[in-house]
Amino acid sequence: MNNTNVRVALITGGSGGIGRAVAERLAGDGIAVGVHYASSKSKADETVSAITSAGGKAIAVGGDVADEKDMSAAFDAVEMAFGGIDVVVNTAGIMLLSPIATLDLDDLDRMHRTNIRGTFVVSQQAARRVRSGGAIINFSTSVTRLQFPNYGAYAASKGAVEAMTLVLARELRGKDITVNAVAPGPTATPLFLSGKDETTIEHLSKAAPLERLGTPEDIAETVAFLAGPARWINGQVLFANGGLG
């Protein structure tokens, strides 16, 4: 563990949805949080304000996850504010749905840039900077093994995330840093709900044995486990989906 009293986390995509829930959950555990945003500084500031008003420590940091200079600067800012980084949670991602046969290849490239290159850039910085006793947590999706139609390109991008995550866990041998991925199932976030009609949402909400959609808080609990007490879970993909598959 680090030699300061406060653990520090950087959360990409921390301004909304799952990212915000993760930021607030980790702050509740006493972790100082860097809340990253790509474009919505106001939302990141709202998250920071919610954390600080509850007695926690947080700052907002901006940048494109796929730009190594932006991410280096974001990591620098968090280290400058709090003295180091112990946990990196990479929730930033985009989801563009289409049958493979008709997918606009520009959409494929956009997902590749954010979901694959972005995760790689953030993982690279994390591998260089996370302190001993720390944790790196990337985000996949349960669709990598559920094979829902229309999710082909998105699932492919997240399959790449799983691959690099599991390799990085082995590459950090001897550093006492865990590297895992969380793979949520259907979760009630704007990213998931956008573009779906009520019938589709109702069907998906009944698909898991627990017969509801996941919540951002459900996913944040899984992240908090990996970020804190789960020191013997390493090089794994945790499917947080209520038993869907």
Q: 64-68: long-range contacts (C-beta < 8 A, 24 or more apart)?
A: 64/38, 64/118, 65/12, 65/13, 65/36, 65/38, 65/90, 65/92, 65/114, 65/118, 65/119, 65/121, 65/122, 66/113, 66/114, 66/117, 66/118, 66/121, 67/121, 68/121, 68/124, 68/125
Left (φ > 0), alpha (ψ -120 to 50) or beta: where does 84 sit? left
Active site residues: 154
Q: What span, in angstroms and rounded, lies between the C-alpha atoms of 241 and 209?
A: 10
Compute the distance between CA of residue 87 and CA of residue 178 in angstroms, rounded to an integer. 9
Which residues have CB under 8 Å from 160's CB, separation 6+? 115, 116, 119
Neighbours of 52 (CB within 10 A): 14
Task: Using DSSP, state whether 174 is helix, strand or coil.
Answer: coil
How big is the CA angle at 34 (ends 32 and 40), to the nearest 5 degrees?
145
